[in-house]
Structure 1
Amino acid sequence: MAYTSERPPIAESSDQLRARIPGWGADLDPKNRPSVPKLQWQDDRTGAHWDFPERQPEKWPRERSIEHKFLTPVFGTSCPPKGLSGALRKVSYRRYSEGRAAHWLLLLAADRVDAWESHLRSFATLRPDNPITETGVLSEFRRHGLSSRIGKKRADVKHLWLDPIIVAGPWVAAAGVVFSAARAVARRRR
Protein backbone atom coordinates (compact mmCIF):
# COMPACT_ATOMS: atom_id res chain seq x y z
CA MET A 1 0.00 0.00 0.00
CA ALA A 2 1.44 3.35 -1.04
CA TYR A 3 1.74 6.17 1.47
CA THR A 4 -0.77 8.86 0.70
CA SER A 5 -2.00 11.96 2.45
CA GLU A 6 -5.34 10.27 3.10
CA ARG A 7 -6.12 8.96 6.53
CA PRO A 8 -5.63 5.18 6.81
CA PRO A 9 -8.69 3.08 7.52
CA ILE A 10 -9.58 2.51 11.16
CA ALA A 11 -8.34 -0.83 12.47
CA GLU A 12 -10.85 -3.42 13.43
CA SER A 13 -11.90 -3.70 17.04
CA SER A 14 -10.74 -6.58 19.23
CA ASP A 15 -14.18 -8.22 19.02
CA GLN A 16 -14.17 -8.05 15.21
CA LEU A 17 -10.66 -9.51 15.02
CA ARG A 18 -11.57 -12.30 17.48
CA ALA A 19 -14.62 -13.15 15.39
CA ARG A 20 -12.65 -13.13 12.13
CA ILE A 21 -9.33 -14.77 13.24
CA PRO A 22 -9.53 -17.96 15.31
CA GLY A 23 -7.34 -17.64 18.41
CA TRP A 24 -6.71 -13.91 18.00
CA GLY A 25 -5.76 -12.19 21.25
CA ALA A 26 -4.88 -15.37 23.10
CA ASP A 27 -1.93 -13.54 24.65
CA LEU A 28 -4.07 -10.67 25.95
CA ASP A 29 -6.35 -12.26 28.52
CA PRO A 30 -5.17 -15.36 30.44
CA LYS A 31 -8.74 -16.69 30.42
CA ASN A 32 -8.56 -16.99 26.63
CA ARG A 33 -5.32 -18.98 26.73
CA PRO A 34 -5.88 -22.74 26.39
CA SER A 35 -2.62 -23.51 28.24
CA VAL A 36 -3.43 -21.53 31.39
CA PRO A 37 -4.45 -24.59 33.46
CA LYS A 38 -1.17 -26.26 32.47
CA LEU A 39 0.85 -23.26 33.63
CA GLN A 40 -0.56 -23.34 37.16
CA TRP A 41 1.05 -25.63 39.76
CA GLN A 42 -0.97 -28.76 40.39
CA ASP A 43 0.31 -31.06 43.13
CA ASP A 44 -1.34 -34.16 41.74
CA ARG A 45 -0.16 -33.64 38.13
CA THR A 46 3.64 -33.22 38.38
CA GLY A 47 4.52 -36.89 37.97
CA ALA A 48 7.75 -36.45 39.94
CA HIS A 49 8.44 -38.98 42.69
CA TRP A 50 11.06 -36.76 44.39
CA ASP A 51 11.52 -33.28 45.79
CA PHE A 52 15.15 -33.18 44.67
CA PRO A 53 16.51 -35.70 42.12
CA GLU A 54 19.03 -38.35 43.07
CA ARG A 55 22.59 -37.16 42.72
CA GLN A 56 25.00 -38.80 40.33
CA PRO A 57 28.00 -40.20 42.22
CA GLU A 58 31.14 -38.09 41.89
CA LYS A 59 34.02 -40.49 41.12
CA TRP A 60 36.64 -37.73 41.19
CA PRO A 61 36.45 -34.08 42.24
CA ARG A 62 34.69 -32.25 39.44
CA GLU A 63 35.22 -28.65 38.40
CA ARG A 64 32.49 -26.43 39.71
CA SER A 65 31.98 -22.73 39.52
CA ILE A 66 32.54 -20.77 42.72
CA GLU A 67 29.10 -19.19 42.22
CA HIS A 68 27.30 -22.51 42.61
CA LYS A 69 26.79 -24.30 45.90
CA PHE A 70 26.98 -27.80 44.40
CA LEU A 71 27.09 -29.64 41.10
CA THR A 72 23.95 -30.28 39.14
CA PRO A 73 22.38 -33.67 39.91
CA VAL A 74 23.61 -35.04 36.57
CA PHE A 75 26.88 -33.98 34.94
CA GLY A 76 29.16 -35.14 32.14
CA THR A 77 31.93 -37.62 32.83
CA SER A 78 33.18 -38.29 29.31
CA CYS A 79 36.25 -36.04 29.57
CA PRO A 80 37.76 -36.13 33.05
CA PRO A 81 40.42 -33.46 33.59
CA LYS A 82 43.92 -34.86 33.11
CA GLY A 83 47.42 -33.56 32.70
CA LEU A 84 48.40 -29.92 32.49
CA SER A 85 45.14 -28.98 30.76
CA GLY A 86 43.14 -30.48 33.64
CA ALA A 87 45.23 -28.53 36.14
CA LEU A 88 44.55 -25.30 34.21
CA ARG A 89 40.82 -26.01 34.20
CA LYS A 90 40.83 -26.70 37.95
CA VAL A 91 42.67 -23.41 38.60
CA SER A 92 40.18 -21.57 36.42
CA TYR A 93 37.19 -22.93 38.31
CA ARG A 94 38.78 -22.71 41.76
CA ARG A 95 40.06 -19.13 41.59
CA TYR A 96 37.91 -17.15 39.16
CA SER A 97 34.22 -16.40 38.82
CA GLU A 98 32.49 -17.21 35.55
CA GLY A 99 32.00 -13.47 35.10
CA ARG A 100 35.75 -12.84 34.87
CA ALA A 101 37.68 -12.91 31.64
CA ALA A 102 40.53 -14.77 33.37
CA HIS A 103 38.22 -17.76 33.91
CA TRP A 104 37.40 -18.09 30.22
CA LEU A 105 40.93 -17.29 29.01
CA LEU A 106 42.30 -20.05 31.22
CA LEU A 107 39.71 -22.45 29.83
CA LEU A 108 40.71 -21.48 26.28
CA ALA A 109 44.38 -21.99 27.15
CA ALA A 110 43.49 -25.37 28.68
CA ASP A 111 41.81 -26.38 25.41
CA ARG A 112 44.95 -25.49 23.44
CA VAL A 113 47.14 -27.36 25.93
CA ASP A 114 44.80 -30.35 25.70
CA ALA A 115 45.14 -30.31 21.91
CA TRP A 116 48.93 -30.37 22.21
CA GLU A 117 48.79 -33.10 24.83
CA SER A 118 46.74 -35.24 22.46
CA HIS A 119 49.17 -34.49 19.60
CA LEU A 120 52.09 -35.61 21.78
CA ARG A 121 50.19 -38.72 22.92
CA SER A 122 49.54 -39.58 19.28
CA PHE A 123 53.30 -39.96 18.71
CA ALA A 124 53.28 -42.88 21.14
CA THR A 125 50.78 -44.75 18.96
CA LEU A 126 51.23 -46.57 15.67
CA ARG A 127 49.27 -43.84 13.85
CA PRO A 128 50.52 -40.38 14.90
CA ASP A 129 48.69 -37.21 13.86
CA ASN A 130 49.35 -36.04 10.32
CA PRO A 131 48.95 -32.25 10.14
CA ILE A 132 48.99 -32.24 6.33
CA THR A 133 45.93 -34.42 5.84
CA GLU A 134 44.04 -33.51 9.02
CA THR A 135 44.02 -29.77 8.36
CA GLY A 136 42.55 -30.11 4.87
CA VAL A 137 45.49 -28.51 3.09
CA LEU A 138 45.42 -31.12 0.33
CA SER A 139 41.78 -30.36 -0.46
CA GLU A 140 42.79 -26.77 -1.22
CA PHE A 141 44.59 -28.11 -4.30
CA ARG A 142 42.14 -30.87 -5.22
CA ARG A 143 38.88 -28.98 -4.74
CA HIS A 144 39.66 -25.57 -6.30
CA GLY A 145 40.48 -23.89 -2.98
CA LEU A 146 42.15 -20.78 -4.35
CA SER A 147 39.72 -20.21 -7.22
CA SER A 148 36.82 -20.33 -4.78
CA ARG A 149 38.43 -17.50 -2.80
CA ILE A 150 39.99 -15.21 -5.39
CA GLY A 151 37.57 -12.59 -6.66
CA LYS A 152 34.86 -13.61 -4.20
CA LYS A 153 33.61 -11.61 -1.23
CA ARG A 154 34.26 -14.30 1.34
CA ALA A 155 35.10 -13.36 4.92
CA ASP A 156 37.86 -15.94 5.28
CA VAL A 157 39.92 -14.36 2.49
CA LYS A 158 40.99 -11.61 4.91
CA HIS A 159 42.76 -14.04 7.22
CA LEU A 160 43.81 -16.55 4.56
CA TRP A 161 47.47 -15.59 4.94
CA LEU A 162 47.30 -16.39 8.68
CA ASP A 163 46.05 -19.96 8.26
CA PRO A 164 49.41 -21.53 7.33
CA ILE A 165 51.08 -19.73 10.24
CA ILE A 166 48.44 -20.87 12.73
CA VAL A 167 48.32 -24.45 11.48
CA ALA A 168 51.93 -25.10 10.52
CA GLY A 169 53.67 -22.66 12.87
CA PRO A 170 53.47 -24.78 16.03
CA TRP A 171 54.60 -27.88 14.12
CA VAL A 172 57.56 -26.02 12.62
CA ALA A 173 58.44 -24.61 16.05
CA ALA A 174 58.22 -28.08 17.62
CA ALA A 175 60.40 -29.53 14.86
CA GLY A 176 62.92 -26.71 15.46
CA VAL A 177 63.02 -27.48 19.17
CA VAL A 178 63.55 -31.20 18.50
CA PHE A 179 66.26 -30.42 15.92
CA SER A 180 68.14 -28.07 18.27
CA ALA A 181 67.86 -30.57 21.13
CA ALA A 182 69.22 -33.35 18.92
CA ARG A 183 72.00 -31.07 17.71
CA ALA A 184 72.94 -30.17 21.31
CA VAL A 185 73.03 -33.85 22.27
CA ALA A 186 75.22 -34.61 19.25
CA ARG A 187 77.66 -31.83 20.22
CA ARG A 188 77.96 -33.10 23.78
CA ARG A 189 78.79 -36.60 22.58
CA ARG A 190 81.72 -35.30 20.54
Structure 2
Amino acid sequence: MPYTAEQPKRRESNEELRARIPGWGADLDPKNRPAVPRERFDPGATGAHWDFPERQPEKRPRERSIEHKFLPPVFGTSSPLKGLSGVMRRYAYRTYSEAQAAHWLILLASDRVDAVESHLRSFVSLRPDNPITETGVRSELTRHGYASRVGRNRADLKHQWIDPILVAGPWIAAGGLVFAVVRAVARRR
Protein backbone atom coordinates (compact mmCIF):
# COMPACT_ATOMS: atom_id res chain seq x y z
CA MET A 1 0.00 0.00 0.00
CA PRO A 2 1.58 3.32 -1.03
CA TYR A 3 1.90 6.10 1.51
CA THR A 4 -1.11 8.39 1.65
CA ALA A 5 -1.93 11.27 3.93
CA GLU A 6 -5.17 9.78 5.17
CA GLN A 7 -5.03 7.27 7.98
CA PRO A 8 -5.77 3.70 6.86
CA LYS A 9 -8.97 2.13 8.12
CA ARG A 10 -8.58 -0.33 10.96
CA ARG A 11 -9.75 -3.87 10.59
CA GLU A 12 -10.84 -4.04 14.23
CA SER A 13 -12.19 -1.37 16.56
CA ASN A 14 -10.60 -0.43 19.90
CA GLU A 15 -13.17 -2.47 21.81
CA GLU A 16 -12.59 -5.58 19.69
CA LEU A 17 -8.82 -5.32 20.14
CA ARG A 18 -9.18 -4.75 23.91
CA ALA A 19 -11.42 -7.82 24.21
CA ARG A 20 -9.00 -9.98 22.19
CA ILE A 21 -5.62 -8.72 23.57
CA PRO A 22 -5.30 -8.30 27.36
CA GLY A 23 -3.92 -4.85 28.20
CA TRP A 24 -4.29 -3.47 24.67
CA GLY A 25 -4.91 0.28 24.59
CA ALA A 26 -3.94 0.89 28.21
CA ASP A 27 -2.52 4.25 27.19
CA LEU A 28 -5.54 5.48 25.24
CA ASP A 29 -7.54 6.68 28.23
CA PRO A 30 -5.55 8.83 30.69
CA LYS A 31 -7.34 7.12 33.59
CA ASN A 32 -5.80 3.78 32.53
CA ARG A 33 -2.28 5.09 31.88
CA PRO A 34 0.21 4.00 34.54
CA ALA A 35 2.47 7.05 34.11
CA VAL A 36 -0.24 9.71 34.28
CA PRO A 37 0.48 10.81 37.87
CA ARG A 38 4.08 11.50 36.81
CA GLU A 39 2.95 13.43 33.75
CA ARG A 40 0.89 15.91 35.75
CA PHE A 41 2.64 19.18 36.56
CA ASP A 42 2.82 19.33 40.34
CA PRO A 43 5.97 21.16 41.53
CA GLY A 44 5.08 20.57 45.19
CA ALA A 45 5.21 16.80 44.75
CA THR A 46 8.78 16.77 43.40
CA GLY A 47 10.34 19.04 46.02
CA ALA A 48 11.94 21.19 43.33
CA HIS A 49 12.64 24.73 44.52
CA TRP A 50 13.23 26.19 41.08
CA ASP A 51 11.53 26.67 37.73
CA PHE A 52 14.85 26.29 35.91
CA PRO A 53 17.88 24.71 37.60
CA GLU A 54 20.94 26.72 38.53
CA ARG A 55 23.35 27.02 35.65
CA GLN A 56 26.84 25.56 35.79
CA PRO A 57 29.37 28.36 35.35
CA GLU A 58 30.91 28.41 31.89
CA LYS A 59 34.60 29.01 32.60
CA ARG A 60 35.63 28.70 28.95
CA PRO A 61 33.48 29.23 25.89
CA ARG A 62 31.88 25.90 25.05
CA GLU A 63 30.88 24.58 21.65
CA ARG A 64 27.16 24.33 21.03
CA SER A 65 24.95 23.90 18.03
CA ILE A 66 23.62 27.02 16.33
CA GLU A 67 20.11 25.60 16.82
CA HIS A 68 20.34 25.95 20.60
CA LYS A 69 19.94 29.25 22.38
CA PHE A 70 22.12 28.28 25.36
CA LEU A 71 23.89 25.36 26.96
CA PRO A 72 21.97 23.00 29.24
CA PRO A 73 22.20 23.73 32.98
CA VAL A 74 24.92 21.08 33.43
CA PHE A 75 27.42 20.10 30.75
CA GLY A 76 30.56 18.02 30.53
CA THR A 77 34.03 19.52 30.75
CA SER A 78 36.10 16.35 30.94
CA SER A 79 37.89 16.86 27.64
CA PRO A 80 38.26 20.54 26.77
CA LEU A 81 39.02 21.48 23.19
CA LYS A 82 42.67 21.89 22.32
CA GLY A 83 44.93 22.32 19.34
CA LEU A 84 43.94 22.18 15.69
CA SER A 85 41.19 19.64 16.43
CA GLY A 86 39.59 22.13 18.85
CA VAL A 87 39.69 24.85 16.21
CA MET A 88 38.01 22.49 13.74
CA ARG A 89 35.28 21.53 16.25
CA ARG A 90 34.56 25.16 17.13
CA TYR A 91 34.29 25.96 13.42
CA ALA A 92 31.87 23.06 12.84
CA TYR A 93 29.61 24.15 15.70
CA ARG A 94 29.80 27.86 14.89
CA THR A 95 29.22 27.54 11.14
CA TYR A 96 27.00 24.55 10.37
CA SER A 97 23.72 23.22 11.66
CA GLU A 98 23.61 19.72 13.14
CA ALA A 99 21.34 18.81 10.23
CA GLN A 100 24.12 19.39 7.69
CA ALA A 101 26.59 16.72 6.69
CA ALA A 102 29.46 19.23 6.73
CA HIS A 103 29.03 19.64 10.50
CA TRP A 104 29.50 15.92 11.14
CA LEU A 105 32.25 15.46 8.54
CA ILE A 106 34.30 18.22 10.15
CA LEU A 107 33.76 16.61 13.57
CA LEU A 108 34.91 13.24 12.20
CA ALA A 109 37.99 14.82 10.66
CA SER A 110 38.73 16.65 13.92
CA ASP A 111 38.66 13.29 15.76
CA ARG A 112 41.34 11.97 13.38
CA VAL A 113 43.38 15.17 13.83
CA ASP A 114 43.04 14.79 17.61
CA ALA A 115 44.37 11.22 17.38
CA VAL A 116 47.41 12.41 15.42
CA GLU A 117 47.95 15.28 17.88
CA SER A 118 47.81 12.81 20.77
CA HIS A 119 50.37 10.54 19.11
CA LEU A 120 52.70 13.48 18.48
CA ARG A 121 52.19 14.72 22.05
CA SER A 122 53.13 11.28 23.36
CA PHE A 123 56.54 11.48 21.67
CA VAL A 124 57.53 14.51 23.75
CA SER A 125 56.35 12.87 26.98
CA LEU A 126 58.26 10.38 29.11
CA ARG A 127 55.99 7.53 27.97
CA PRO A 128 55.49 7.56 24.19
CA ASP A 129 52.85 5.38 22.55
CA ASN A 130 53.85 1.79 21.91
CA PRO A 131 52.12 0.63 18.71
CA ILE A 132 53.04 -3.03 19.24
CA THR A 133 51.20 -3.46 22.54
CA GLU A 134 48.49 -0.82 22.14
CA THR A 135 47.20 -2.10 18.82
CA GLY A 136 46.97 -5.72 19.97
CA VAL A 137 49.61 -7.09 17.62
CA ARG A 138 51.44 -8.90 20.41
CA SER A 139 48.26 -10.50 21.74
CA GLU A 140 47.51 -11.81 18.24
CA LEU A 141 50.70 -13.85 18.47
CA THR A 142 50.47 -14.92 22.13
CA ARG A 143 46.72 -15.32 22.77
CA HIS A 144 45.62 -17.64 19.95
CA GLY A 145 44.57 -14.76 17.67
CA TYR A 146 44.54 -16.83 14.49
CA ALA A 147 42.83 -19.85 16.06
CA SER A 148 40.05 -17.67 17.45
CA ARG A 149 39.13 -16.55 13.91
CA VAL A 150 39.39 -19.69 11.78
CA GLY A 151 36.20 -21.74 11.49
CA ARG A 152 34.11 -19.40 13.65
CA ASN A 153 32.29 -17.49 10.86
CA ARG A 154 33.45 -14.13 12.18
CA ALA A 155 32.62 -10.97 10.25
CA ASP A 156 36.01 -9.37 10.82
CA LEU A 157 37.74 -11.94 8.58
CA LYS A 158 36.64 -9.96 5.52
CA HIS A 159 38.71 -6.93 6.44
CA GLN A 160 41.46 -8.69 8.36
CA TRP A 161 43.92 -8.39 5.46
CA ILE A 162 43.80 -4.57 5.50
CA ASP A 163 43.97 -4.09 9.29
CA PRO A 164 47.80 -4.29 9.49
CA ILE A 165 48.07 -1.73 6.70
CA LEU A 166 45.69 0.68 8.43
CA VAL A 167 47.25 0.24 11.86
CA ALA A 168 50.94 0.01 10.98
CA GLY A 169 50.88 2.14 7.83
CA PRO A 170 50.92 5.54 9.55
CA TRP A 171 53.69 4.41 11.90
CA ILE A 172 55.82 3.10 9.05
CA ALA A 173 55.22 6.29 7.04
CA ALA A 174 56.18 8.44 10.05
CA GLY A 175 59.31 6.33 10.60
CA GLY A 176 60.25 6.67 6.93
CA LEU A 177 59.75 10.43 7.09
CA VAL A 178 61.94 10.72 10.19
CA PHE A 179 64.58 8.54 8.51
CA ALA A 180 64.52 10.71 5.37
CA VAL A 181 64.84 13.93 7.38
CA VAL A 182 67.72 12.58 9.48
CA ARG A 183 69.45 11.28 6.36
CA ALA A 184 69.05 14.62 4.56
CA VAL A 185 70.42 16.51 7.56
CA ALA A 186 73.35 14.08 7.82
CA ARG A 187 74.19 14.48 4.10
CA ARG A 188 74.25 18.28 4.35
CA ARG A 189 76.77 18.11 7.15
- Normalization by structure 2: what TM-score? 0.82
Separation of aligned partners in 2, 1:53 and 1:122: 40
Q: Deviations over 1:82-115 (max 9, x none)?
A: 1111111111111111111111111111111111
- Could you say if the C-alpha distance between residues 150 and 48 of structure 1 is closer, same or farther in structure 2, counting changes exceeding 3 Å? same
- Could you say if the C-alpha distance between residues 133 and 71 of structure 1 is closer, same or farther in structure 2, counting changes exceeding 3 Å? same
1:161 maps onto 2:161 in alignment: yes
Q: Which residue of the partner structure matches residue 116 of structure 2? A: 116
Q: How far did residue 15 of structure 1 move?
A: 8.7
Give the aligned length: 175
1:130 maps onto 2:130 in alignment: yes
- Could you say if the C-alpha distance between residues 61 and 15 of structure 1 is closer, same or farther in structure 2, counting changes exceeding 3 Å? closer
What secondary structure, in the 3-state scheme, does the structure 2 residue paired with 1:185 have?
Answer: helix
- Could you say if the C-alpha distance between residues 153 and 70 of structure 1 is closer, same or farther in structure 2, counting changes exceeding 3 Å? same
**Structure ID, larger Rg:** 1
Q: Deviations over 1:120-156 (max 9, x none)?
A: 1111222211000011111111122112222332110
- Could you say if the C-alpha distance between residues 166 and 69 of structure 1 is closer, same or farther in structure 2, counting changes exceeding 3 Å? same
> Does the 8 A contact of 2:89 with 2:106 survive in 1?
yes
Q: How far did residue 62 of structure 1 move?
A: 0.7
- Could you say if the C-alpha distance between residues 180 and 32 of structure 1 is closer, same or farther in structure 2, counting changes exceeding 3 Å? same
Gaps of 5+ in 1: 1-12
Equivalent AA in structure 2 for residue 26 of structure 1: A
Separation of aligned partners in 2, 1:177 and 1:94: 36
1:151 maps onto 2:151 in alignment: yes
Identity %: 71
Q: How far did residue 181 of structure 1 move?
A: 1.1
Separation of aligned partners in 1, 2:160 and 2:51: 55
Q: Which residue of the partner structure matches residue 178 of structure 1? A: 178
RMSD: 2.3
Q: Which residue of the partner structure matches residue 101 of structure 1? A: 101
Q: Which residue of the partner structure matches residue 89 of structure 1? A: 89
What secondary structure, in the 3-state scheme, does the structure 2 residue paired with 1:67 have?
Answer: coil
Q: How far did residue 164 of structure 1 move?
A: 0.5
Aligned pairs for 1:47-86 (under 5 A) are: 47-86=47-86
- Could you say if the C-alpha distance between residues 33 and 61 of structure 1 is closer, same or farther in structure 2, counting changes exceeding 3 Å? closer
Q: Which residue of the partner structure matches residue 33 of structure 1? A: 33
Equivalent AA in structure 2 for residue 156 of structure 1: D
- Normalization by structure 1: what TM-score? 0.82
- Could you say if the C-alpha distance between residues 25 and 61 of structure 1 is closer, same or farther in structure 2, counting changes exceeding 3 Å? closer
Separation of aligned partners in 2, 1:129 and 1:15: 63
Q: How far did residue 25 of structure 1 move?
A: 5.6
What secondary structure, in the 3-state scheme, does the structure 1 residue paired with 2:88 have?
Answer: helix
